[in-house]
Chain A
Amino acid sequence: AAGVIQSPRHLIKEKRETATLKCYPIPRHDTVYWYQQGPGQDPQFLISFYEKMQSDKGSIPDRFSAQQFSDYHSELNMSSLELGDSALYFCASSSTGTGLNTEAFFGQGTRLTVV
């Protein structure tokens, strides 16, 4: 079965650079979520999209932005990178709009290292 695909799997950037993380949800899932998991931490919700519209926002820095495209894939753009942005970034998708709420399925994550 198709799963959530994230790319790249690993990314190394220097401080003040920009990074773009991509997420391809499970087909027919209408909701995408982004989570950030720092070293030794639990995942923290960043932002979510339902049917290409932002549906909720968590503790996402102003330097970060995200969007969901017409094909439902999502991109997380991170600018002016800081050392503290080094983390594992998860994308998850689910189906929430049909009245049948499926659990969130997670991608394998993108490990971002800022040096």
Chain B
Amino acid sequence: AQTVTQSQPEMSVQEAETVTLSCTYDTSESNYYLFWYKQPPSRQMILVIRQEAYKQQNATENRFSVNFQKAAKSFSLKISDSQLGDTAMYFCAFEGSNYKLTFGKGTLLTVNP
């Protein structure tokens, strides 16, 4: 079974600064996907970024980028130029061959003005 670990229950960052959220996972599969989902106070689950394990290049989406280290089973999310609207719970998630998502416990990010 896969496990996903987010070791930072809460983090805070000043507006316009950069913050990195950590995620590690454990799996015996070689082909899989990793995701970061954002859950604002509205509780909607919003996909932030997706990484295919077979791709060495780190995914980027505007201000969001990941540092994917397959050998270390690490998948961190970097948010640049943080905005107040980035305040949310962030979940790291793993998808293997059965397509279901396994989530970490989440990191509550607060962006301060």
Contact = CB atoms under 8 A, between A and B. Distances in A.
Interface of A: 31, 33, 35, 37, 41-45, 48, 55-56, 58, 88, 90, 92, 94, 96, 101, 103-106, 108-109, 111
Given A43-B91, A45-B100, A106 B44 contact: yes
Contact of B101 (A33, A41, A101, A111): A33
The interface size bin for chain B is 20 to 34
Interface string B10-43: 0000000000000000000000010101000011
B43 A88 contact: yes
A43 B101 contact: yes
Contacts of B99: 31, 33, 48, 55-56, 94, 96, 101, 104
Contact of A43 (B33, B44, B46, B103): B103
Interface string B91-105: 100010011111111
Report whether over half of chain A's contact residues are helix, strand or loop; otherwise say mixed.
strand
A109 B39 CA distance: 12
B105 A42 contact: yes
Interface of B: 33, 35, 37, 42-47, 50, 91, 95, 98-106
Contacts, number: 56
B12 to A, nearest CB: 18
23 contacts: A31-B99, A33-B99, A33-B100, A42-B91, A42-B103, A42-B106, A43-B103, A44-B103, A45-B100, A45-B101, A55-B98, A58-B100, A92-B45, A103-B47, A104-B95, A104-B99, A104-B101, A105-B47, A106-B46, A108-B42, A108-B43, A108-B44, A111-B43
A53 to B, nearest CB: 13
B102 A45 contact: yes
A43 B104 contact: no
A56 B100 contact: yes
